[in-house]
């Protein structure tokens, strides 16, 4: 039996970061502007620490300035809001990102809404959410943006295709659905109350799995030849007391049926960070009204 093509997020993200690096050097040399990314982490969540370290490392590799703010887990919400106010006003900072999840005593939505929308490189501020929903120009959340780049690269036009997004989070599910509508797909958003989820998935040419449940979407739910983008990153127990990463899709089953599939790790995850850098470059260019081409335009 033929196996699905693997969509390699590590390779795609490396190519995108090369393009971003070239653009960053252009504006540093031509305009004396260095894009700056501020990354804020509250607490000691080990996975978040890794993501924040990688974001800063990748930003520096692309020639950007990265500003790291690591705050203790018991930081009062007011202190975090004051830090954001300072970053909003700092001309060296073009992109602001607060790593999620935040400790429970902090209201994440309040924090997101405190970030200047034109520096909101996560694309989570209601202004950017509204721009995406209404078809305007804002900043697009990184994971959906990276997923869409890989889809367009693999499939070309998506017009007329049936897509299902399994999961309705503000970070991935909802923005992904809007992007797919923009690309003229017929979109179903499935969630915990969906009746006959296997049947809904079987009807789809494109499956976006963003439900946060390890290997929940089975191989025999996938339509033969469909393109599967697995957004899940779940750490599960493995042999010898170790852990391993799996997605939301049963990869071993799906790879036998799908036309193409993103692996976990090495699929959507690396694209999330590359798209954060792309958004930071976009924010810097817009804030300084620079007329530079976008890295890897996809629409």
Query: 10 Å Cβ neighbour count for 160?
Result: 10
Query: Is 25 or 57 the residue whose CB approaches ligand LMY7XDAE more closely?
Result: 57
Q: Which residues bind ligand LMY7XDAE (CB under 6 A)?
A: 50-51, 97-100, 122, 142-143, 233, 245, 264-266, 269-270, 272-273
- Asked if residue 138 belongs to a known ligand binding site, the reply is no
122 is catalytic: yes
CB of 142 to ligand LMY7XDAE, least distance (A): 5
CA distance 257 to 265: 20
User: Which residues, other chains included, contact 62 with Cβ-Cβ below 8 Å and sequence gap of 6+?
Assistant: 17, 20, 21, 24, 277
- Asked if residue 112 belongs to a known ligand binding site, the reply is no
CB of 266 to ligand LMY7XDAE, least distance (A): 5
CB of 25 to ligand LMY7XDAE, least distance (A): 24
Query: Is 125 or 223 the residue whose CB approaches ligand LMY7XDAE more closely?
Result: 125
- Asked if residue 168 belongs to a known ligand binding site, the reply is yes
CB of 125 to ligand LMY7XDAE, least distance (A): 12
**230 close to 247: Cβ distance less than 8 angstroms:** yes
| Torsion angle in degrees (nearest 10) through CA of 281, 286, 288, 293 | 60
Catalytic residue among 118, 119, 120, 122: 122
Query: Is 245 or 290 the residue whose CB approaches ligand LMY7XDAE more closely?
Result: 245
Query: Is 121 or 180 the residue whose CB approaches ligand LMY7XDAE more closely?
Result: 121
Backbone angles phi, psi at 47, to 5 degrees: -65, -45
What's CA 299's distance to the chain center, in Å?
17
Catalytic residue among 99, 131, 174, 248: 99
- On the 0-12 / 13-18 / 19+ scale of CB atoms within 10 A, 44 is exposed
* Cα four-point dihedral sign 165, 98, 134, 170: positive
193 is catalytic: no
Query: Is 63 or 175 the residue whose CB approaches ligand LMY7XDAE more closely?
Result: 175
Structure tokens that stand for 299 in this block:
């629409």
**258 close to 226: Cβ distance less than 8 angstroms:** yes
Which letter, b or e, does each residue of 86-102 get, where b requires 16 or more Cβ atoms within 10 Å of its Cβ?
Answer: ebbeeeebbbbbbbbeb
- Asked if residue 233 belongs to a known ligand binding site, the reply is yes
Structure tokens that stand for 200 in this block:
């809904």
**In the complex, residue closest to ligand LMY7XDAE by CB:** 269
**192 close to 182: Cβ distance less than 8 angstroms:** no
Structure tokens that stand for 228 in this block:
């599967």
DSSP label of 115: S
174 is catalytic: no
CB of 30 to ligand LMY7XDAE, least distance (A): 30
Residues annotated as part of the active site: 55, 99, 122
Annotated binding site: 167-169, 233
Annotated binding site for NADP(+): 167-169, 233
């Amino acid at each position: 039996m033929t196996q699905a093509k693997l969509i390699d997020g590590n390779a795609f993200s490396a190519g995108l970061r090369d393009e971003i690096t070239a653009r960053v050097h252009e504006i540093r040399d031509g305009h004396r502007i260095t894009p700056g990314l501020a990354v804020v982490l509250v607490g000691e969540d080990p996975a978040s620490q890794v993501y924040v370290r990688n974001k800063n490392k990748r930003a520096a590799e692309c020639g950007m300035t990265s500003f790291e703010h690591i705050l203790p887990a018991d930081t009062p919400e007011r202190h975090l809001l004051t830090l954001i106010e300072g970053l909003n006003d700092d001309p060296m900072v073009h992109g602001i990102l607060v790593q999620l999840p935040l400790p429970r005593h902090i209201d994440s939505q309040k924090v997101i809404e405190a970030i200047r929308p034109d520096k909101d490189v996560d694309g989570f501020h209601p202004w950017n959410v509204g721009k995406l929903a209404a078809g305007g120009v804002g900043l697009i959340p990184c994971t959906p943006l990276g997923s869409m780049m890989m889809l367009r690269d693999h499939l070309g036009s998506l017009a007329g295709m049936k897509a299902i997004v399994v999961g309705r989070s503000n970070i991935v599910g909802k923005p992904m659905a809007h992007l797919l509508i923009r690309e003229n797909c017929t979109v179903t958003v499935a969630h915990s109350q969906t009746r006959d989820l296997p049947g809904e998935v079987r009807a789809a040419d494109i499956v976006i799995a963003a439900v946060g449940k390890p290997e929940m979407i089975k191989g025999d739910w996938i339509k033969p030849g469909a393109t599967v983008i697995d957004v899940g990153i779940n750490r599960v127990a493995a042999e010898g007391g170790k852990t391993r990463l799996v997605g939301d899709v049963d990869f071993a089953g799906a790879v036998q049926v799908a036309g193409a599939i993103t692996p976990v790790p090495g699929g959507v995850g690396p694209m999330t960070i590359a798209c954060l850098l792309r958004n930071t470059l976009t924010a810097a260019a817009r804030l300084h009204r620079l007329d530079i081409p976008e890295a890897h335009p996809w629409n």
